[in-house]
Amino acid sequence: MLMHRTVGEMLHQTAKEFPETEAYVYPEKGIRKTYREFDQETDELAKAFIGLGIKKGEHVAIWSDNKREWLLSQFATGKMGAVLVTVNTNYQEAELKYLLEQSDASTLILGEEFKGTSYIEIIQSLCPELFTGTKGALDCEGLPRLKRIIVMSDKEYPGIYTWQEFEAFAQTTTNDQLKDKMKALHPDDVINIQYTSGTTGFPKGVMLSHDNIVNNGQIIGDFMNLTSKDRLCIPVPFFHCFGCVLGNMAAVTHGSTMVIIEQFEPKKVLQAVQDEKCTALHGVPTMFISELNHPDYAIYDTSTLRTGIMAGSPCPIEVMKKVIHDMGAGEITICYGQTEASPVITQTKWNDAIEKRVSTVGKPHPHVEVKIINPVTQEEVLSGTPGELCARGYLIMKGYYKNEEATREAIDSDGWLHTGDIAVLDSEGYIEITGRIKDMIIRGGENIYPREVEEFLYQHPAIQDVQVVGVPDAKYGEELMAWVILKDAEVLTPEELRNACRGKISHHKIPKYIEFVSSYPMTASGKIQKYILREMSIKKAEVEAK
């Protein structure tokens, strides 16, 4: 049965059923809160959002690693109806400006910094009016819709609310006012916008409803056999569906404990699993590889592990086997999906045969229709025949924010989401993903579309043309290779080009391999043959790796 509850109603119900069960733990900070306390905290923060003047449907962007304030904001906005817009922690100035503009965000919640990048300096550069502006009534020429900025700190910055100042706004809102706001919400309301890159270049805002993410989280947890006795270690980022849906929402719908790692480090994860006696662990394959290959791996006790999810990019069979046999997560599952599907479409179950759990992405979730079609004829194909995977059901996004054309391209008139991925259905109903129609590159669980990187590199004054493709990589699954044509008389080295990218575009989008050429393989009609470039790239990467 689908739940048809808002995020707030779901958390209230969980807190009522499991009031003294630990809701979340931050091992590094020594913070522990029960579901009763978590429910109360998020009620108070929801009142603060209301007191600050934020209305139902207003867009609140959030930019930080997995801090407690992020977790509380996810559920507090879910209670009072603001739409949480998630921001990639790796974003630099140009990417943040685009997201804030495109999303019409009125409010930005941010951490002070991330891995040496000062978020404060970036927002001050984008909005210099902060230095003379009034908190809560910003007038930023470059970002005219942005009115409020809140920092996850009690350190004072011009024009920015401290976290304590923000929390104080709760005093201006009554409990009855919050209840009225919650009653006015509907499970079909959009509550989350997550940005995902597109083949046409810039990221698109995927609009997800309460129904989308609450039910997807519920079913994900069911497939893991989660209960209130489970303790789920979450080292994957909250800004991604992996963190906020497969992690937070799956745990909260089942009364499980979230053991949260702010920033992934293999040793921190192993320590948390041991000390907190975690029964479940999430991660992209590269995270599990880093944990298994850590020099101190053997000294940690991971015997309490039972389940978890490996997803985000193709999961190597040998890594799955090691997680099952060496780490002890004998019931670990694999998920497949995309942000546009809230995100999980198919998943292996905790009790599926190991062969299926290491070689397929499982079966479609309940209440989800799946078909595999010939991408040319659009006709459904027989089992055993590769084709494009399409999905339909409660989980499909409401659309891309302010992009009806892209929405129509992704979802057909019958409600089918066309994933662009090539899949094969076996005789038992299990699905194997064998490739992608689109050019998307998945590096360490991060989706990268070549066009976005190409558009950035085009801005370099020495570059005439550039094509970006993915090449296989043992550590990250895929790496980027850029094929660059320079303007006449221009000279540029690969390292100079990489240096020009640093601090201006996310590090995971900077090409590992760069090759300078005078032309590209072309069709007779003048189209670049990217598949030939990809074949050439693989050979070049293999030579460089030797």
Instruction: Give the pLDDT score at 529.
Output: 77
* Number of domains comprising the chain: 1
Note the Cα 328 to chain centre separation in Å: 26
| 500: in domain | yes
pLDDT score recorded for residue 524 = 42
Q: Give the start-end residues of each E strand in 138-275.
A: 148-151, 190-198, 201-209, 231-234, 257-260
pLDDT at residue 452, rounded to an integer? 79
The CA distance from 95 to 494, in Å, is 23
Find the range with the poorest average confidence among 37-41, 125-129, 194-198: 194-198
- The CA-based angle 212-214-215, given to 5 degrees, is 70
Name beta bridge partners: 282. Answer: 309
The per-residue pLDDT for range 140-153, each reduced to its tens digit, is 999 999 999 999 99
In this prediction the pTM is 0.85
Residue 512 lies in a domain: yes
Report the candidate in 481, 483, 486 with the shortest Cα–Cα distance to residue 463: 486
Q: Which residue in the block uniquely carries the two structure tokens 């990639």?
A: 88
Alpha helices in 411-467 (DSSP H): 450-458
What's the confidence (pLDDT) of residue 528? 72
For residue 370, the model assigns a pLDDT of 98
- Identify the weakest region by mean pLDDT among 24-33, 354-363, 412-421: 354-363
540 has a pLDDT exceeding 50:
yes
pLDDT, position 316: 72
Q: Is the pLDDT of residue 523 over 70?
A: no
pLDDT surpassing 50 at residue 331: yes
Q: What is the mean pLDDT of the chain?
A: 93
- Per the CB < 8 A criterion, the answer to whether 260 and 74 are in contact is no
What mean pLDDT comes out for the span 527-541? 83
Asked if the model's pLDDT at residue 200 lies above 50, the reply is no
pLDDT tens track for 470-511: 999 989 999 999 999 998 889 999 999 999 999 999 999 999
Which secondary-structure segment (H or E) carries 210?
helix 210-224
Q: Which of 233, 347, 248 is nearest to 300 (CA)?
A: 233
Kindly list the distances between the CA atom of residue 273 and the CA atoms of 99, 195, 286, 304, in Å, as whole numbers in the listed order: 35, 30, 17, 8
Using one digit for the tens of pLDDT, what is the confidence trace for 439-457?
678 899 887 877 778 879 9
The confidence score (pLDDT) of residue 546 equals 66
Residue 285 falls within a domain, yes or no?
A: no
pLDDT of the residue at 525: 37
In this structure, the dihedral spanned by the alpha carbons of residues 24, 25, 26 and 32, taken in order and rounded to 10 degrees, is: 100
Give the pairing of strands 83-86 and 59-63.
parallel
Lowest mean pLDDT among 60-64, 519-523, 526-530: 526-530
State the residue range of the domain holding 492: 441-545
CATH code of the domain containing 507: 3.30.300.30
Structure confidence at residue 455 (pLDDT): 79
* Rounded Cα gap, residues 230 and 286, in angstroms: 24
Query: Measuring CA to CA, which residue among 122, 76, 128, 67 is closest to residue 96?
Result: 122
Question: Which position has the higher pLDDT, 452 or 426?
Answer: 426
* Res 438 pLDDT > 70: no
* 469 belongs to a structural domain: yes
Residue 505 lies in a domain: yes
**The pLDDT of residue 124 is above 70:** yes
Beta-carbon-side half-sphere exposure of residue 308 (alpha carbons within 13 Å)? 32
pLDDT band at 201 (very low <50, low <70, confident <90, very high): low
Q: Is residue 425 part of a domain?
A: no
Segment 401-430 mean pLDDT: 95
Amino acid 197: pLDDT = 63
